[in-house]
């Protein structure tokens, strides 16, 4: 019995070691592509939903809230958007702890099922004209379910990729989380733009928004299939074979890795604020505050998010070569120095100026995202990685990211300054910059067990 246990541990160690070697054969590359697609598919579904809600915030405000004050209705729509983030830390606690105890694969498959199901339900909800105040109440309930499920997605998918990736390509491989995330926003915003251009704004406002949410069903089923075809990560199998799986990962994390948790929270601040400014706030900002038409605002958003999706892997690869910290610092400094000027450029009132400004911000977001996913995973040992990332990531996203669209809109409304949201982004960039400067470099090091 002891001999067989020793052999199993040795095999698991060998598998883990092979996962950290460079891409040196076709089979290794094929398996890595399979893992990237499985992790990315679920991430695509999650952010397709979140992106649609943000892109359609103006439409949702028309359908689910009493009309009369456009700004108040939009604020209400963003408040409901933020409600989903309230549940993310709780979801992170539940799914992350479960993922560290029973494995990454099973939990991630369950998460995608809940997320896509809740998104389809959102497309079925009756509007304010039909059931009055029950419409926003039901909308909040669905958003809470989505937020709970989302609490296990980003950190779990990042953990999955980090634990499969070779040490010298971890930044590149984990960057695909953000590639799929921003691709989901591009597809969502692109579909909204297509609907608006071909069917008109009235059709989108009346029924088109429902059809877009229904797309989550086939996307979710495809992601579920891909994730169920995976084995669990070599790193998790190794600690499983050794009997080193933590029975209380949350308690262990708080006792042994509290400094790493604080670093991870700080890493996520600009990531959360930057994402939701660009993905969720920007379409309504261009329409409501800068006077762009609906098609033009969606077009600007699509171009900016597409630039991020294209650039993120190159930034991840750069972080593998020169380190995580220099690339993350560059992203923070870019936001700190140029956010206000880019918002001023957008106010020029023409598509080209707005698109250039959005792409400039996208470059900084791509730089930070390309390096930060690997940097977060490298903070924690395998036995508590999923849960620790889930706690820190979702706490920071809930506090800083969830309120971003609402707070940015509130800043404009209360100050009368159309560029006031820039100060919130700059503050977030400064917080993260200070944290990154104090962190140690982790690129090229093996993942801690």
Distance CA 326, CA 263 (A): 16
State mean pLDDT over 113-118. 89
- Do 257 and 382 contact (CB within 8 A), yes or no? no
And the tokens for 66? 């009493």
User: For residue 289, what pLDDT is reported?
Assistant: 87
- For residue 162, pLDDT over 70 is answered with yes
Q: What is the mean pLDDT of residues 80-99?
A: 85
pLDDT band at 294 (very low <50, low <70, confident <90, very high): confident
What is the SS3 string spanning the chain?
CHHHHHHHHHHHHHHHHHHCCCCCCHHHHHHHHHHHHHHHHHHHHHHHHHHHHHHCHHHHHHHHCCCCCHHHHHHHHHHHHHHHHHCHHHHHHHHHHHHHHHCHHHHHHHHHHHHHHHHHHHHHCCCHHHHCCHHHHHHHHHHHHHHHHHCCCHHHHHHHHHHHCCHHHHHHHHCHHHHHHHHHHHHHHHHHHHHHHHHCHHHHHHHHHHHHHHCHHHHHHHHHHHHHCCCCCHHHHHHHHCCCCCCCHHHHHHHHCHHHHHHHHHHHHHHHHHHHHHHHHHHHHHHHCCCCCHHHHHHHHHHHHHHHHHHHHHHHHHHHHHCHHHHHHHHHHHHHHHHHHHHHHHCCCCHHHHHHHHHHHHHHHHHHHHHHHHHHHCCCCHHHHHHHHHHHHHHHHHHHHCCHHHHHHHHHHHHCCCCCHHHHHHHHHHHHHHHHHHCCCCCCCCCCC
Q: Is the pLDDT assigned to residue 391 strictly greater than 80?
A: yes
Write out pLDDT tens, residues 231-258: 888 888 888 888 888 888 888 988 988 9
For the chain, what is the radius of gyration of the CA atoms? 21
Q: Residue 25 class from Cβ within 10 Å (0-12 exposed, 13-18 middle, 19+ buried)? A: exposed
Q: What is the pLDDT of residue 98?
A: 92
Q: Over the chain, what is the mean pLDDT? A: 85
Q: How far is CA 369 from the centre of its chain?
A: 10
pLDDT of 68:
63
Per-residue model confidence (pLDDT) at position 445:
85
Write down the pLDDT at residue 230: 83
For residue 419, name the pLDDT band (cuts at 50, 70, 90). Answer: very high
Encoded tokens for 405? 């669209």
Q: Tens digits of per-residue pLDDT, 364-375? A: 999 999 999 999
Distance between CA 289 and CA 293 in Å, rounded?
11
Q: Which of 263, 270, 301, 304 is nearest to 388 (CA)?
A: 263
Q: Which CATH class is domain 2-438?
A: mainly alpha
Q: Where are the domains of the chain?
A: 2-438
Q: Which residue has the higher pLDDT, 204 or 11?
A: 204
User: Which tens digits make up the pLDDT trace of 303-330?
Assistant: 898 899 999 999 999 999 999 999 999 9
> What pLDDT does residue 12 have?
44
């Amino acid at each position: 019995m002891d001999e067989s246990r020793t052999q199993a541990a040795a095999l698991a160690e060998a598998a883990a070691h092979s996962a950290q070697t460079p891409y040196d054969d076709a089979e290794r590359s094929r398996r890595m592509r399979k893992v990237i697609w499985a992790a990315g598919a679920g991430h695509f579904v999650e952010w397709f939903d979140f992106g649609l809600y943000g892109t359609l915030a103006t439409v949702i405000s028309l359908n689910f809230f009493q009309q009369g004050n456009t700004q108040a209705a939009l604020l209400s729509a963003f408040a409901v958007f933020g409600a989903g983030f309230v549940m993310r830390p709780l979801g992170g606690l539940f799914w992350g702890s479960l993922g560290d105890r029973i494995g990454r694969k099973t939990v991630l498959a369950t998460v995608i099922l809940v997320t896509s199901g809740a998104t389809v339900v959102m497309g079925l909800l009756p509007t304010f004209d039909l059931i009055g105040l029950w419409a926003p109440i039901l909308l909040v309930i669905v958003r809470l379910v989505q937020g709970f499920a989302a609490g296990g997605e980003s950190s779990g998918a990042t953990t999955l990729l980090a634990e499969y990736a070779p040490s010298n390509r971890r930044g590149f491989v984990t960057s695909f989380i953000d590639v799929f995330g921003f691709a989901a926003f591009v597809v969502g915003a692109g579909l909204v733009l297509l609907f608006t251009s071909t069917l008109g704004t009235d059709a989108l406002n009346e029924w088109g928004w429902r059809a877009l949410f229904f797309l989550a069903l086939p996307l979710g089923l495809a992601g579920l299939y891909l994730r169920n075809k995976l084995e669990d990560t070599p790193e998790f199998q190794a600690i499983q074979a050794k009997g080193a799986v933590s029975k209380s990962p949350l308690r262990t994390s708080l006792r042994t890795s509290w400094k790493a948790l604080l670093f991870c929270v700080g890493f996520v601040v600009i990531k959360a604020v930057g994402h939701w400014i660009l993905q969720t706030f920007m379409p309504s900002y261009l329409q409501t505050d800068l006077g762009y038409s609906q098609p033009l605002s969606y077009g600007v958003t699509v171009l900016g998010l597409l630039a991020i999706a294209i650039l993120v892997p190159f930034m991840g690869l750069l972080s593998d070569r020169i380190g995580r910290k220099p690339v993350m610092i560059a992203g923070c400094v870019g936001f700190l120095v140029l956010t206000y000027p880019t918002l001023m450029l957008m106010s020029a009132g023409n598509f080209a100026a707005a698109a250039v400004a959005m792409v400039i911000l996208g470059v900084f977001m791509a730089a930070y995202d390309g390096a930060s996913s690997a940097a977060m995973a490298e903070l924690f040992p395998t036995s508590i990685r999923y849960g620790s990332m889930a706690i820190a990531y979702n706490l920071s996203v809930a506090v800083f990211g969830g309120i971003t669209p609402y707070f940015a809109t509130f800043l404009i409304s209360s100050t009368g300054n159309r560029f006031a949201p820039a100060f919130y982004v700059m503050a977030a960039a400064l917080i993260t910059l200070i944290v990154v400067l104090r962190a140690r470099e982790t690129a090229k090091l093996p993942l801690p067990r």
